[in-house]
Amino acid sequence: MVSDTPYYYWGGTYYAGSGSRYVVVNPPVGAVVYAVPAPTTVVYADSQPYYYIDGTYYVATDQEANLPEENPEYEETQEDSGQDDPEMIESDEHNYEVVAPPVGATVPYLPEEDEKKTIDEKTYYVKDGTYYRAFASDGDTVYMVVEDPTKAGE
């Protein structure tokens, strides 16, 4: 539950109720989970480690995670489907909290479905209001979270 809205989390994907069904939603800032997807990459901003995956940033936290309730019907359906649970990273020492993208974080890839924009003759990649700039680093292209250039001088 985040801001009185119930969310469901499975395999790195967040769901919210919509009528009589559930829909995939963006990870809500403030959500605390017990595990993150295995392909998560550790990145840094101001020497703070963040766990990054496809535009979502997590930090280690001592806050309690909302653990999923046992659901025997789900277990039966899952067993019948032949689908395996996604590989996740868990820690005995902490949980993970979704945070806003930190300015200065450098990531190895852009989130899916980003939009390319040119502002003041500079190219930005934008996803859900987060702006990224491409940079060369040791022969690779990396992307840094930057301030929103449309709000410069506010």
Cite the beta strand spans of the chain per DSSP E. 8-10, 13-18, 21-25, 32-33, 35-37, 41-45, 48-53, 56-61, 88-90, 95-99, 106-107, 115-119, 122-127, 130-137, 140-146
Instruction: Read off the pLDDT of each residue in 117-134 and give the average, rounded to a whole number.
Output: 96
**How many angstroms separate the CA atoms of 113 and 132, rounded?**
13
State mean pLDDT over 112-117. 92
Residue 103 has pLDDT above 70, yes or no: yes
Residue 64 predicted with pLDDT over 80:
yes
Q: Which two tokens stand for residue 105?
A: 């974080």
3-state secondary structure of 153: coil
Instruction: Enter the tokens of residue 109.
Output: 């890839």
Provide the H-helix boundaries in the chain.
Answer: 72-81
pLDDT, mean of residues 123-144? 95
Task: Name residue, tokens 């040119």.
Answer: 118
Q: What is the pLDDT of residues 29-47, one digit of tens each?
A: 999 999 999 989 999 999 9
Q: Is the distance from CB of 50 to CB of 41 less than 8 angstroms?
A: no
Among residues 127, 149, 18, 119, the alpha carbon closest in space to that of 7 is found at 18
pLDDT of residue 77: 47
Kindly report the pTM of this predicted structure: 0.84
Cα–chain center distance at 79: 28
User: For the chain, what are the domain ranges?
Assistant: 1-102, 103-154
Burial of 19 (0-12, 13-18, 19+ CB in 10 A): exposed
Please provide residue 81's backbone torsions phi and psi, each rounded to the nearest 5 degrees: -75, -25
Q: What is the mean pLDDT of residues 68-89?
A: 59
* pLDDT at residue 128, as a whole number: 92
